A and B are shown apart, each in its own frame.
Chain A
Amino acid sequence: EAGVAQSPRYKIIEKRQSVAFWCNPISGHATLYWYQQILGQGPKLLIQFQNNGVVDDSQLPKDRFSAERLKGVDSTLKIQPAKLEDSAVYLCASSQGLAGGPTRRADTQYFGPGTRLTVL
């Protein structure tokens, strides 16, 4: 079974530039997550999708971050414009979820390798 795929693996940009990350979850997984992991900290959830609908984006800085999951499969996360403090690893994860709605309990999440973003 193929795992969660992410690209690019590394990205270096200057502040105020734009950047986009791509994620392909495990086939059949209904739920997709984007996390931000700043050096020395644990992953922090940015946004969760159930199929192609947003379940939780309460910690997404919506003035500069956006995400979409077209057709309930692949997802992209965009930052525009980037700030120095956005330097982090961006992790995508997926889980099976429950049919008919958001999971009532955190089911096992499978993570991709992440994209390391450096903003200069």
Chain B
Amino acid sequence: DQQVKQNSPSLSVQEGRISILNCDYTNSMFDYFLWYKKYPAEGPTFLISISSIKDKNEDGRFTVFLNKSAKHLSLHIVPSQPGDSAVYFCAASGSNDYKLSFGAGTTVTVRA
């Protein structure tokens, strides 16, 4: 049962433009959301998170937006850089629950 869905398996964007990655979830108990970035042959690394009490969190070039009513979150990367080429995983957890549920990932390719 896939509780976190990333419906776009891949995204190609030109360097300097904005990358928008989308994530949908079905479990209404989820209240904490994270994005992880993964390079080939490496483990995922934490990128940014957001709590359900917020609708936006920004860290440098990365911004995550949360729409609780739509059960949807997105990650914006602006401007996109070649080093951003990686797989991005959306993950979620619920109150009093340490367990992370991951989406299947979106592969981002930044073209020079």
Contacts and interface: CB of A to CB of B under 8 A. Distances in A.
Given A42-B4, A42-B89, A42-B105, A104 B98 contact: yes
Nearest to A31: B98
Interface residues on A, range: 20 to 34
Interface string A6-45: 0001000000000000000000000100000000111111
A31 B98 CA distance: 10
B102 A106 contact: no
Contacts of A4: 43
B85 to A, nearest CB: 18
Given A4-B43, A93-B43, A108-B46, A55 B104 contact: no
Interface string B21-48: 0000000000010101000011111100
Contacts of B103: 42
Contacts of A107: 98
A109 B100 contact: yes
Interface string A45-62: 100100000011000000
B96 interface: yes
A42 B43 contact: no
B89 A106 contact: no
A42 B98 contact: no
A31 B95 CA distance: 18
B46 A44 contact: no
B63 interface: no
A107 B100 CA distance: 10
Contact of B98 (A41, A91, A105, A114): A105
B41 A111 contact: no
Given A4-B43, A111-B43, A106 B105 contact: no
The 3 closest A-B pairs by CB, nearest first: A42-B102, A111-B43, A106-B93
Given A43-B100, A106-B34, 10 more contacts: A42-B89, A42-B105, A43-B44, A56-B98, A104-B95, A106-B32, A106-B100, A108-B49, A109-B100, A110-B46
15 contacts: A4-B43, A41-B104, A42-B89, A43-B102, A91-B43, A102-B98, A106-B32, A106-B99, A106-B100, A109-B46, A110-B46, A111-B36, A111-B44, A112-B43, A113-B42
